[in-house]
Amino acid sequence: MRSLSARRAEKADAQVASTFSVPISVFPAQLATLAVDSLIAEASLTPKPGLVDSRGPGAHADLDIDLMHRSARSLHSCFRDMSRAARGAVVGRQIREQLAAIGREGEVAMFAATGGVNTHKGAIWSLGLLVAGAVMSTRPGDAEDIAAIAGGIARFSDSRMPTGATNGSRVVERYGVPGARGEAQSGFPHVVSIGLPALRRARSRGIAETFARLDALLSIMATLDDTCLLHRGGPKALETAKTGAAEILRLGGTSTQPGSDALGQLDIDLLELNASPGGSGDLLAATLFLDSLNDTSAGSPVNIDHKGAFSQWKS
């Protein structure tokens, strides 16, 4: 349950919003809601190759769709507090360390909600930076500007960063790939230059939203050196995902019968390797988040849940 002070702060945000016509990025609770919605939308999107969706856990035996939804909702206060911290901030070490501290608190809330299962640690990093970028940008809804600001923050170090290697850092060192940190520091190129254009290009062709989002995911997968795939299945898993995703797109995408058939085969291939494109999934959530800030978006990232019922997260 939110504290009295938090409820009062959100009420004040809403009162300001009702008085002035200003960007949604100014209001922490609303911005946090969009971030949570994006995580729920990514988890709910079905069918995804190797990833958790409404059919089952994909390559993750310890995950399911309900756990992913519960995890996402547990992060609302984390993203809200990040957006508050970014108000009036400038790109630099101070905001980098503030966001990191809030993100670590978010991880505690996530693990409490999931019983110790890591569901969204990578997404806290990417979406947290983009939430801050959305607040700090003077060009509301401009994905490139928001991502550039987020990248600038990511390039500063965090003096209180916990020591010790992570799965991601080991993969980065072993295979020489950028990883989540490198993606952020470069201004999220797989989001602003690949995921978003693919999503909006599919919509412009009249493709249904589910297929448009799947095609955006596959566009990211076809080009990303996904550390989750490398960690779980090595170079073979990464090559399988990249080649398979590119082939689906070559066949016309997931809205076509050949593309749909190839998507099913890619899912089988990744499950046989026990491999999951988790990094691509995080970047799809980031794509949906930035899309939701733009007037040309399809609306809220979440329309229906995996059972067909309206499920937009309310702050």
Q: Are 313 and 37 in contact (CB under 8 A)?
A: yes
pLDDT digits (tens, 9 = 90+) for 248-306: 999 999 999 999 999 999 999 999 999 999 999 999 999 999 999 985 555 545 433 33
pLDDT digits (tens, 9 = 90+) for 151-168: 999 999 998 887 777 888
Q: Name the nearest CA neighbour of 49 among 246, 276, 303, 209.
A: 276
pLDDT digits (tens, 9 = 90+) for 203-253: 999 999 999 999 999 999 999 999 999 999 999 999 999 999 999 999 999
Nearest-angstrom CA–CA distance, 158 and 101: 9
Q: Maximum CA pair distance of the chain?
A: 56
CA 290 to chain centre: 10
Nearest-angstrom CA–CA distance, 5 and 2: 8
Where are the domains positioned within the chain? 25-157+176-292
Angstrom distances, CA of residue 308 to CA of 70, 205, 255, 293: 17, 25, 20, 24
Confidence of residue 23 (pLDDT cuts 50, 70, 90): low
Classify the C-alpha dihedral 282-283-286-292 as positive or negative. Answer: negative
* DSSP 8-state assignment for residue 50: T
Structure tokens at 27: 């209001």
Structure tokens at 163: 């020591």
Nearest-angstrom CA–CA distance, 145 and 139: 7
Nearest-angstrom CA–CA distance, 279 and 245: 14
Q: Are 120 and 76 in contact (CB under 8 A)?
A: no
